[in-house]
Each structure stands twice: as structure tokens, then as C-alpha cells.
């Protein structure tokens, strides 16, 4: 994975993952580890799995939505796709019902197939979801 440091992984987390992998290979237990569990905590925002710490510290819900959602929800989408209704670049003119749907999907359990952002790509803490929700409620 491209990263600006020599190592993107955390040695302790990598050791735990290696043990889990070896156990699964031996047929003792299934491998249920999420591959992101090996990355260093400091790398998660640089790799775009988590929002930038500066956005969270500043309470910038709009910035969080841009960083975490705009890659998939933008004006370049095929406008016949339903996800095109939630265009992060048009929050000011977005229908309240669409904003409410986004709030609902942000707050779904992590194991829901409708959860946004999809947990396999991005993750938001409860505080980050709250900041994004505040922007969507305006």
C-alpha cells in the first residue's frame, strides 16, 4: 500500500494478524480479521480509512462529508444512479428527505449492508457521525 513512511503497519497488530492467519491455516479457527486491523492508527487517516484528525479537531462536519463521501457521491456520477441524489457538492440545495436518508444511513449498525460509509472502505466514530449529522440537519 502506498504510504509516506517506511511501514504502514503496526508491529503489534501485524503480529496478532499473523497469529490469526496461522491459526486459520491450521484449520483451528476461521479467519475473520479485517485487513485494516494491521495498519498503524496514525496511518488510517492518511490512507483515507478515517477522516483527517484536523477536520475532527476543528469540528468540520462538512470537511468530513467531503473527505469520506464525495469520492462516491459527486456530480460526475451517472445521474440515473440513486446514489447521485446525495451529491456532497450540493448540500445547500439538497432535499431535506435526502439529507435525512443520509443521516439514517450514517447511523445504521456497522453490520448493515446499507451503512454509510461502507465499513469495508471507510469508518467514522460516533463523534464524527455527529459532526456530519449537524451539517446535514442545516
Q: Report d(CA 134, CA 60) in Å as an integer.
A: 10
Q: What is the number of structural domains in the chain?
A: 2
Query: Higher-confidence residue: 11 or 7?
Result: 11
Residue 91 lies in a domain: yes
Q: Which residue has the higher pLDDT, 4 or 9?
A: 9
- Is 6 contained in some domain? yes
Whether residues 72 and 129 fall in one domain: yes
Cell, residue 100: 435525512
Q: What is the residue range of 108's domain?
A: 60-138
Q: Say if residue 36 is in the same domain as residue 64.
A: no
User: Is residue 121 one of the residues assigned to a domain?
Assistant: yes
Same domain, 22 and 76: no
pLDDT of residue 37: 87
Across 51-73, b (16+ Cβ under 10 Å) vs e yields: bbeebbeeebbbbbbbbbbeebb
74: buried, middle or exposed (CB in 10 Å: 19+, 13-18, 0-12)? middle
Residue 100: inside a domain: yes
> How much is the pLDDT for 1?
61
Considering the domain architecture, whether residues 124 and 86 belong to the same structural domain is answered as yes
Q: Does 129 map to a domain? A: yes
Is there a domain that residue 55 lies in? no
Could you tell me if 18 and 79 lie in one domain? no
DSSP-based helix, strand, coil % in the chain, nearest 5: 50, 0, 50
Q: Is residue 52 part of a domain?
A: no
Asked whether residue 39 falls in the same domain as residue 107, the answer is no
- Residue 34 CA to residue 49 CA, distance in Å, equals 12
Describe the crossing of helices 126-136 and 96-106 by its angle, rounded to 10 degrees: 180
- The answer on pLDDT for 86 being more than 80 is yes
pLDDT per residue over 28-59, tens digit each?
A: 899 988 877 899 988 888 888 899 999 999 99
- Which residue reads 453490520 in cell numbers? 111
Q: Does residue 68 share a domain with residue 8?
A: no
Residue count of the chain? 138
Amino acid at each position: 500500500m502506498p504510504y509516506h513512511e517506511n511501514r504502514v503497519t503496526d508491529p503489534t497488530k501485524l503480529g496478532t494478524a499473523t497469529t490469526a492467519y496461522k491459526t486459520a491455516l491450521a484449520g483451528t479457527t476461521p479467519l475473520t480479521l479485517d485487513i485494516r486491523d494491521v495498519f498503524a492508527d496514525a496511518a488510517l487517516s492518511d490512507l483515507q480509512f478515517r477522516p483527517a484528525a484536523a477536520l475532527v479537531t476543528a469540528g468540520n462536519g462538512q470537511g468530513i462529508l467531503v473527505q469520506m463521501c464525495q469520492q462516491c457521491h459527486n456530480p460526475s456520477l451517472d445521474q440515473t444512479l440513486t446514489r447521485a441524489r446525495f451529491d456532497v457538492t450540493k448540500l445547500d440545495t439538497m432535499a431535506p428527505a435526502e439529507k435525512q436518508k443520509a443521516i439514517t444511513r450514517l447511523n445504521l449498525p456497522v453490520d448493515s449492508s446499507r451503512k454509510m460509509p461502507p465499513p469495508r472502505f471507510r469508518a467514522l466514530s460516533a463523534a464524527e457521525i455527529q459532526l456530519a449529522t449537524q451539517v446535514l440537519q442545516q
